[in-house]
Amino acid sequence: MIIFSVALIIVFLCIGLGVIFYNEDSKNEKYVDILALIGGIALLIALAALIISVILSFVLPYKYETKIVNVKPIYSVEDITGINGRFVIGTGNVDQDIVYCYYVQEKEGLKLEYVNSNDAYIVESDKKPVIETIKKYPVYTKHWIEKFVGVPPMLQSSVTYYKLFVPKNTVKKVFDLQIRN
């Protein structure tokens, strides 16, 4: 991306100098032609650098890093079945998901929020009950690659998940196998 930026600066300098030197009665036509040639070459280099950067963002090695984005203390938590559906002109579907509903303390009072159970992990601990919002995002294996390429890895997008820290013995262990006819 550095090559792209430098080439664009050269293009704009050539355009600016070309405007300054351009005068129909002047003998500066030779300079204007040279500036147009340099500007055109720099523009081609900028476009090539941009295309190469995008291609490299697909093939260069990357890894995932995680970052805790938000931590909120929770007042209470409960798992429930959430029902979603979509219908258009008499046809559609209904989905059921298990969600964790929890209350967080806000300035105005308690606020009800929820997360899908597919995106959450339950951690039993001695810590105060909190919910952590964690973002997992792709980064190149070498830190200098992103400065050179200028765009993040394209193959994968970032993922957000949650960790619910609850008091020990909150999760009930149930083994129930019933023989049915």
Of 20-24, 29-33, 97-101, 148-152, least confident by mean pLDDT is 20-24
What is the pLDDT at residue 135?
A: 92
Residue 18 near residue 32 (C-beta atoms within 8 A) = yes
Q: What band does 21 get if pLDDT is binned at 50, 70 and 90?
A: low
Q: CB of 119 within 8 A of CB of 162?
A: yes
Residue among 23, 55, 19, 54 at smallest CA distance from 36 = 19
pTM, whole model, 2 decimals? 0.59
The predicted model gives 3-22 an average pLDDT of 66
Q: Is the pLDDT of residue 106 over 80?
A: yes
Q: What is the mean pLDDT of the chain?
A: 76
